[in-house]
């Protein structure tokens, strides 16, 4: 029977068979038993690439790297790229990078590796007509550079039987998926626009998105708040999916509020049988956050892979897989909802989630698209936030007080390596004068010591998961620090700053590796996408945005004219007022007077934005004292989701009052208060970042890179926040309202040029 598999490759038209990658096949059909995440987290994608390169560089000159292979098997066409092939030795190698002792890799993970290696071994026997082959697993420790090689010799017939057994488990699913793809494409080709007519500017945006996605071209699209950007971009991208036969559309947002808007837009489009998956972070998905992720601790991890097939089948039958639906399926099959969602990422047509799913160092969606050779489309909402989010994702920090607490409770066997880190940290404190210092050089000696400690720590955690559980947060922080260190370059700085003072001993600084210029790190992600559309109401100037995000010169730009009329809006500037930090106490009475005049002059619900919670508190207290008859409510520093909903619920139709919020916070963008729910917005700041050492380092790097350092660092990001906040006001052609800009600098020509072109000429606040 297995020999029939071998002969099949020569007689079957590959295009007539469902295609499946080796990794996908084995992940689907070869996993059994518990979910187990006790072993060290995998190295970053970049570290993995470098590790593969280090191994293959040691091989003889005739060694073949990344060899493409394919053959028919059990009604499928299997394809993939073997990591390494030595034709002379008749040997195939599957290379896996790791940290720590390879003997501690769980059996279920190692069996998956063997499954992949054996399928590649069979594919190579088919290609070379060999009767047997050496199949090797090569585990490469990226910290020590050591290789651990496990090798087995298998006959062609035995490997054929192995491949046939896996294919048999996958065939029905593959046929189902092929039928689904055809039905999905047919439905999208006939998908109607979900509204009776386009709003002004909406068709232009839709057509631009469709053309760029069809052509495989990136697009920067600036469009006013309120024209229906979400519906326009979703419709254009979905209509392009069948044209390019896209594998997946990722709708990525920087905030949860915009994720909800995207899901609402997809639900309105109702493109059956489209599979839509909502991705959430682990802390929002985990049913047992107090338990470790392995079968001996968590009941939802026990037997996870044995129950996964039924749960997966139930989920794809549902199709609409938002947070609630996934949780229901997971509960019915007694498995972890977070890791079920990770599995469903592979089978969804549209995935809605945070930008980190594509741009983070360990982004699953990007890694999957790269390994499978997928054609992926991207839609990025509120794209003006991406640069700052990218900086955060590619940065890391270590706090001395947190480390001291972990060091104090570390088991005795880890004391030596923990103490070594403590001493290396002390060396970095020896020439630190306090405050915040910025250096362009990586602290190499400290990183080396931390890497050695991490190797010991991961070994210990694998051997003693319960005893080491309290150190797991430290493991993740140290691992992130090393991942960022691996990519440290001209785009980054090393920062030492004051942490919480220790009870005794010499103060040690908080250590941080900060990414300032993310463009270089984002370029591989743009290259991996078939097409990306980045849209926002605030991308001006677009050349600045394009440069900062590392988008190529071929990126298209679109600036959609506003459908709103100047008559819908009044703009006032408090021309004699300064909200600079040094002037705030002196100008607070004038600010409150202008706010009071604005609220009384335009009766209804108002929203005022401030640069910080401290400034918000000062202004609100002064306002309440001056106008006790006006109802006020305020954003707090740590608001739960229910508290946020309660804040927004205060903006009732026909109501009156003043809400106080922070510029750049959760209420400054991504919320919708149409009609008379909101009639006035006041902004008491230009939103400029404070001139701290890190901001100044960014300004200098941007200046050296050919930009306008001050504008790029301070003015553009600040005015983006202001325009976003003001954009909460006019959402439809029927809306009316007024904006009060509480700072004289808003009247400067360079600042006025960055405000929306459709806004009417500003009047003095004394005219209120």
Number of domains, the chain: 4
Report yes or no on 397 lying in a domain.
no
The whole-number pLDDT of residue 447 equals: 97
Q: Output the six-digit token pair for 544.
A: 């600045």
Residues 509 and 539 in one domain: no
Residues 115 and 75 in one domain: yes
Residues 607 and 487 in one domain: no
Residues 56 and 15 in one domain: yes
Share of the chain above pLDDT 90, in %: 77
Q: Are 478 and 450 a contacting pair, CB within 8 Å?
A: yes
- Residue 251: other Cβ atoms inside 10 A: 26
Report yes or no on 412 lying in a domain.
no
Threshold 0.85, pTM exceeds? yes
Report residue 171's pLDDT band, with 50, 70 and 90 as the boundaries.
very high
Report yes or no on 650 lying in a domain.
yes
The whole-number pLDDT of residue 9 equals: 44
Q: Across residues 258-274, what is the average pLDDT?
A: 91
Q: Could you give the angle at which helices 400-409 and 415-430 cross, rounded to 10 degrees?
A: 160
Q: Are 138 and 94 a contacting pair, CB within 8 Å?
A: yes
User: Domain boundary residue among 174, 206, 240?
Assistant: 174
Residues 111 and 246 in one domain: no
Q: Are 19 and 68 a contacting pair, CB within 8 Å?
A: no
Phi, psi of 303 (to 5 degrees): 65, 25
Which residues, 6+ apart, have CB-to-CB distance to 135 below 8 Å?
91, 92, 94, 114, 117, 118, 120, 121, 151, 152, 153, 154, 159
The whole-number pLDDT of residue 4 equals: 42
Residue 524 CB-half CA count within 13 A = 14
pLDDT tens per residue, range 534-564: 999 999 899 999 999 999 999 999 999 998 9
Share of the chain above pLDDT 70, in %: 96
pLDDT tens per residue, range 676-694: 999 999 999 999 988 899 9
Report residue 14's pLDDT band, with 50, 70 and 90 as the boundaries.
low
> Could you give the CA distance from residue 289 to residue 282 in angstroms, rounded to a whole number?
9
Residues 657 and 636 in one domain: yes
Q: Are 27 and 112 a contacting pair, CB within 8 Å?
A: yes
The whole-number pLDDT of residue 731 equals: 87
Spatial CA neighbour of 24 closest among 145, 160, 177, 207? 177
pLDDT tens per residue, range 387-438: 999 999 999 999 999 999 999 999 999 999 999 999 999 999 988 988 899 9
The whole-number pLDDT of residue 500 equals: 62
Q: Across residues 734-762, what is the average pLDDT?
A: 94
Q: Residue 236 is part of a domain; what is its CATH number?
A: 3.40.50.300
Lowest mean pLDDT among 249-258, 449-458, 557-566: 249-258
Residues 727 and 664 in one domain: yes
Residues 216 and 158 in one domain: no
The whole-number pLDDT of residue 41 equals: 54
Residues 259 and 146 in one domain: no
Phi, psi of 514 (to 5 degrees): -110, 125
Q: Across residues 38-52, what is the average pLDDT?
A: 71
Report yes or no on 279 lying in a domain.
yes
pLDDT tens per residue, range 337-386: 999 999 999 999 999 999 999 999 889 999 899 888 899 999 999 999 99
The whole-number pLDDT of residue 258 equals: 81
Report residue 7's pLDDT band, with 50, 70 and 90 as the boundaries.
very low
Residue 505 pLDDT exceeds 70: no
- Rounded to the nearest integer, the mean pLDDT of the chain is 92
Q: Residue 142 is part of a domain; what is its CATH number?
A: 3.90.320
The whole-number pLDDT of residue 39 equals: 54
Which residues form the domain of 718? 566-767
Residues 635 and 691 in one domain: yes
Residue 10 pLDDT exceeds 60: no
Residues 733 and 685 in one domain: yes
Residues 581 and 694 in one domain: yes
Phi, psi of 436 (to 5 degrees): -115, 125
The whole-number pLDDT of residue 1 equals: 38
Q: Which residues of 429-460 are buried (b: 16+ CB within 10 A; e: fewer)?
A: eeebeeebebeeebbeebbebbbbbbbbbbbb
Residue 226 pLDDT exceeds 90: no
């Amino acid at each position: 029977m297995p020999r029939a598999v071998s002969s099949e490759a020569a007689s079957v038209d590959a295009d007539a068979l469902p295609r499946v990658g080796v990794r996908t096949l084995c992940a689907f059909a070869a996993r059994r038993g518990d979910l187990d995440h006790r072993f060290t987290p995998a190295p970053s994608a970049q570290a993995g690439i470098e590790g593969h390169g280090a191994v293959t560089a040691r091989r003889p000159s005739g060694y073949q790297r990344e060899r493409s292979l394919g053959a028919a098997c059990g009604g499928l066409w299997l394809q993939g790229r073997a990591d390494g092939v030595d034709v002379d030795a008749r040997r195939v190698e599957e290379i896996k990078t790791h940290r720590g002792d390879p003997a501690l890799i769980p059996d279920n993970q190692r069996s998956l590796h063997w499954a992949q290696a054996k399928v590649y071994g069979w594919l190579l026997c088919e290609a070379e007509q060999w009767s047997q082959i050496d199949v090797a697993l090569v585990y490469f420790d990226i910290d020590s550079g050591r290789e651990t090689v496990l090798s087995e010799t298998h006959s062609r017939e035995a490997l054929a039987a192995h491949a046939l057994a896996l294919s048999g488990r996958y065939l029905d699913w593959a046929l189902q998926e092929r039928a689904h793809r055809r039905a999905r494409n047919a439905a999208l080709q006939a998908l109607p626009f979900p509204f009776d007519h386009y709003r002004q500017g909406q068709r232009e945006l839709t057509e631009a998105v469709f053309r760029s996605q069809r052509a495989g071209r990136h697009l920067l699209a600036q469009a006013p708040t309120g024209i229906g950007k979400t519906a326009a971009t979703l419709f254009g991208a979905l209509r392009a999916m069948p044209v390019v036969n896209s594998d997946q559309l990722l709708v990525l947002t920087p905030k949860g509020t915009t994720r909800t808007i995207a899901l609402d837009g997809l639900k309105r489009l109702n493109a059956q049988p489209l599979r839509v998956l909502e991705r959430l972070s682990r802390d929002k998905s985990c049913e047992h956050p107090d338990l470790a992720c392995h079968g001996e601790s968590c009941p939802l991890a026990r037997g996870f892979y044995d129950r996964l097939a039924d749960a997966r089948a139930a989920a794809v039958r549902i199709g609409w897989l938002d947070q609630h639906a996934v949780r229901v399926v997971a509960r019915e099959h007694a498995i972890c909802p977070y890791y079920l969602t990770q599995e469903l990422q592979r089978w969804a047509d549209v995935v809605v989630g945070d930008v980190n799913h594509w741009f983070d160092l360990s982004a699953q969606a990007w890694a999957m698209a790269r390994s499978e050779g997928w054609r992926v489309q991207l839609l990025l909402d509120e794209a003006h936030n991406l640069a700052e989010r990218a900086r955060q994702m590619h940065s890391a920090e270590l706090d001395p007080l947190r480390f001291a607490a972990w060091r104090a409770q570390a088991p005795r066997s880890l004391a030596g390596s923990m103490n070594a880190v403590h001493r290396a940290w002390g060396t970095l404190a020896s020439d630190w004068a306090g405050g915040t210092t910025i250096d362009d050089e990586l602290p190499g000696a400290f990183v080396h010591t931390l890497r050695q400690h991490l190797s010991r720590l991961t070994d210990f955690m694998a051997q003693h998961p319960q005893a080491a559980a309290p150190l797991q947060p430290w493991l993740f922080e140290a691992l992130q620090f090393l991942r960022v260190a691996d990519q440290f370059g001209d785009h980054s700085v090393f920062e030492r700053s004051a942490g919480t003072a220790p009870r005794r001993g010499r103060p040690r600084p908080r250590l941080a590796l900060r990414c300032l210029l993310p463009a270089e790190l984002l370029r591989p992600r743009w290259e991996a996408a078939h097409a990306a559309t980045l849209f926002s109401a605030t991308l001006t100037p677009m050349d600045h945005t394009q440069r900062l995000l590392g988008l190529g010169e071929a990126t298209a730009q679109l600036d959609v004219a506003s459908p709103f009329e100047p008559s819908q809006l009044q703009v006032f500037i408090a021309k004699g007022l300064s909200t600079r930090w040094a002037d705030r106490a002196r100008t607070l009475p004038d600010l409150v007077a202008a706010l009071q005049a604005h609220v009384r002059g335009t009766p209804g619900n108002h929203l005022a934005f401030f640069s910080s919670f401290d400034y918000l508190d000062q202004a609100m207290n002064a306002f309440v004292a001056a106008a006790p008859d006006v109802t006020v409510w305020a954003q707090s520093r740590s608001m739960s989701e229910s508290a946020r909903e309660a804040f927004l619920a205060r903006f009732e139709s026909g109501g009156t009052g003043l809400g106080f919020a922070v510029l750049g916070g959760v209420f400054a963008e991504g919320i919708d208060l149409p009609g008379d729910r909101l009639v006035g917005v006041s902004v008491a700041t230009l939103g400029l970042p404070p001139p701290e050492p890190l901001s100044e380092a960014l300004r200098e790097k941007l200046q050296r890179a050919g930009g306008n350092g001050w504008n790029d660092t301070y003015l553009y990001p600040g005015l983006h926040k202001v325009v976003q906040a003001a954009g909460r006001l006019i959402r439809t052609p029927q809306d009316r309202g007024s904006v009060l800009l509480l700072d004289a600098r808003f009247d400067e020509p360079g600042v006025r040029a960055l405000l929306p072109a459709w806004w009417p000429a500003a009047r003095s606040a004394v005219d209120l």
